[in-house]
Amino acid sequence: MKIAGIALIVLGFAGLAFGSLPYHKTENIAQFGDLKMQVTEKKQFVVPPVISGAAILIGAALVFAGRGKPAA
């Protein structure tokens, strides 16, 4: 659980730092034999700050919950 918590914390801070993930989408709009017409669009996947904050909080809860009591 501790590793999952750390991963969520890192992903949450990355979401806050970058805010969005850019990607390209290519579509075929027409094809006549060997001739293809394509259009490439630049798009962005926006990560809401609320989701990033929730990931940080859940990750911290997993890290602290995984500590438990030391064996005596």
pTM over 0.75: no
Portion of the chain with pLDDT greater than 90, in percent: 62
Q: Is residue 47 pLDDT above 70, yes or no?
A: yes
- What does the pLDDT read at residue 19? 87
Can you read off the two tokens belonging to residue 23? 């990607």
The string of pLDDT tens digits covering residues 3-37 is 999 999 999 999 999 988 899 999 999 999 889 99
Element (H, E) at 29: strand 20-32
- What does the pLDDT read at residue 68? 66
b/e for 45-72, b at 16 or more Cβ within 10 A?
eebeeeebeebbeebeebbeeeeeeeee
Going from N- to C-terminal start, the domains of the chain cover: 2-65
